Amino acid sequence: MKTYEPILLKNMIQPGYAGSLPEYERAGGYQALRKVLGKVTPAEVTAVVMKSGLRGRGGAGFPTGVKWGFLPKDYQGPRYLCCNADESEPGTFKDRQLIERDPHQLLEGMLLACYAIGAASSYIYIRGEFVLGAKILEAAIKEARAAGYVGKNILGTGVSIDIWVHRGAGAYICGEETALLESLEGKRGLPRVKPPFPATHGLYNKPTVVNNVETLANLPHIMNRGAEWFASIGSPPKSTGTRVFCVSGHVARPGNYEVPMGITFRELIYEQAGGMRSDKKLKAFIPGGASAPFLTPDHLDVKLDFESVALAGSMLGSGGVTVMEEGTDMVWAALRLMEFFYHESCGKCSPCREGSSWLVQIMRRIVNKRGRMEDLETLTDLCKNIAGRTVCAFGDAEVSPILSTLKHWRHEYVTMIHAAEAANLIRPEPAGAKH
């Protein structure tokens, strides 16, 4: 098996590494901050990050430096950085590891980002279930504050940056950046209509940047080793650096694997994650979290970079790769994800709120062998009327399990419906029946 140099997991894979401040410093931690603060201008930091090609690791893959560049240059009031640690996309469990095993790597990344965008206050919005992660971060912030890395006049440079941990309380939608901001403001997590974008009207209506944990954790390494070094890793020019891919489902060794972008799914699944867990063959996989359309064994040689996965009809998303073996019922699998989206729809937009409920009802009917052939048309029609018609990307996400399984495994739906007809479970409506 080919091995790759770990960047983000480098410290934590050392046996005994527990992520304390002295350990992080011994491993070269906070050197980037020392190198940058007061010595390199914020504009130069942004330029380096732009040049590195770093793109957001949360799902959308937007270039980080460009996002920072959208902040108004001449605005005198407060600006904010929010670290998105909501990690709620099913199939994704990398941020939890980055937080719990090497919290200072994230803090150093946040400090660098705050310096670049001129933010004196930042919040880590962490999903409420990560109680341990929140405690670890709070302890790390306390350590960093005592050592002069966080707080007023950091390292005597006159720069002041504060970091607080803010726990969510169980809502998938709060991983959407504007819903995150609403939630942080103490409201229901309903996404905002964009524009205006958070860059100008974010937290408390002030210029704000929201970056994912893994995105921020890359910054100390980029500032230490340079934009050219980072841009040479992965699949340049558009997908640079490594990704921590989360492999779950029917593989021999599920878990987090940090590899350069651009390796194939075949290599990730069969070499890194040890292949299938039994002698059953691979039937399907989801390449980038629950919002990404399903792919088939024909797509195993697709490269794990933003463009290649998009070209294959799906998306690299959050990097959560879920593998399903032969024998997995694809209609059932799509229903499970649909039930997730139905549960998590925030209720703001009618197509998503009502549509997700209808989709779940129809899918349950089919799985319970009470489906009708026209249900397939209704499903497709509903999906088309949800996608693209909502305030946030949730609408597009929720239809992808159904549309992609209908595309690749339509015969399984048909078989279930035929079984229903054969079992004579569908009876003609009694005359005069009303709905």
Partner 1 sequence: MLKEKYQAEIDEILSRYPVKRSALLPLLYLAQREEGYVTEAAMQEIAGILKLTPPQVYETATFYTMLNLKPVGRFHLQVCKSLMCALVGSDTVIGWIGTKLGIKPGETTQDKLFTLSIVECLAACGTGPMMQVNDDYYERLTEEKLDRILADLRQTGTCSLKTGPFMWPEPAAAKSGA
- Residues engaged in binding partner 1 (CB under 8 A): 3, 9, 12-15, 17-19, 78, 87-93, 95-97, 100-101, 121, 127-132, 136, 164, 166-172, 183-189, 204, 246-250, 253-256, 274, 290, 320, 322, 324, 328, 333, 336-337, 339-340, 343-344, 346
Q: CA 332, CA 350: separation in Å to the nearest integer?
A: 25
Going by their DSSP bridges, the two strands 320-325 and 282-286 should be labelled as antiparallel
Q: Which residues contact 54 (CB under 8 A, 6 or more apart)?
A: 63, 64, 65, 215, 218, 219, 222, 230, 240, 241
**What b/e string do you get for 4-29 counting C-beta neighbours within 10 Å, with b at 16 or more?**
eeebbbbbbeeeebebebebbeebeb
Which CB, 49 or 330, lies closer to partner 1? 330
344 or 396: whose CB is closer to partner 1? 344
Compute the least distance from the CB of residue 337 to partner 1, in Å. Answer: 5
Q: Which is nearer to partner 1, 67 or 96 (CB)?
A: 96
Rounded distance between C-alpha atoms, residue 272 and residue 323, angstroms: 13
Nearer to partner 1 (CB atom), residue 65 or residue 319: 319
Give least dist CB 2 to partner 1, A.
10
Phi, psi of 276 (to 5 degrees): -70, 155
Write down the least CB distance from residue 46 to partner 1, Å: 25
Quote the least distance from Cβ 3 to partner 1, whole Å: 5
DSSP single-letter state for residue 253: S
When the beta carbons of 32 and 111 are compared against partner 1, the nearer one is 111
Backbone angles phi, psi at 275, to 5 degrees: 80, -165
CB of 371 to partner 1, least distance (A): 20
Instruction: Considering the complex, state which of residue 304 and residue 324 has its C-beta at the smaller distance from partner 1.
Output: 324
Smallest separation (angstroms) from partner 1 to the CB of 40: 29
CA distance 98 to 105: 8
184 versus 210: smaller Cβ distance to partner 1: 184
Phi and psi dihedrals of 239, rounded to 5? -130, 85
Q: How far is CA 260 from CA 4, 231, 236, 240, 301, in A?
A: 7, 11, 10, 8, 15
C-alpha to C-alpha distance for 267 and 298, rounded to whole angstroms: 14
Nearest approach, Cβ of 369 to partner 1 (angstroms)? Answer: 18
DSSP-based three-state secondary structure for 176: coil
Beta carbon nearer to partner 1, 30 or 294: 294
Radius of gyration of the chain (CA): 23
DSSP per-residue letters across 341-376? HHHH--SSSHHHHHHHHHHHHHHHHHHTT---THHH
Distances (CA, A) of 380 to 396, 402, 403: 13, 8, 7
* Integer angstrom CA distances of residue 349 from 27, 363, 371, 386, 395: 48, 21, 28, 10, 9
In the complex, minimum distance from the CB of residue 179 to partner 1, in angstroms, rounded to a whole number:
10
* Shortest Å, Cβ 316 to partner 1: 17
Cβ of residue 102: shortest distance to partner 1, in angstroms? 10
Nearer to partner 1, 49 or 137 (CB): 137
Nearest CB to partner 1, comparing residues 132 and 373: 132
- Give min distance, CB of 342 to partner 1, in A: 10
Q: Measuring CA to CA, which residue among 251, 364, 236 is closest to residue 303?
A: 236
Distance CA 295, CA 407 (A): 10
End-to-end CA distance of the chain: 60
Q: Residue 69 or residue 78: which is nearer to partner 1 going by CB?
A: 78
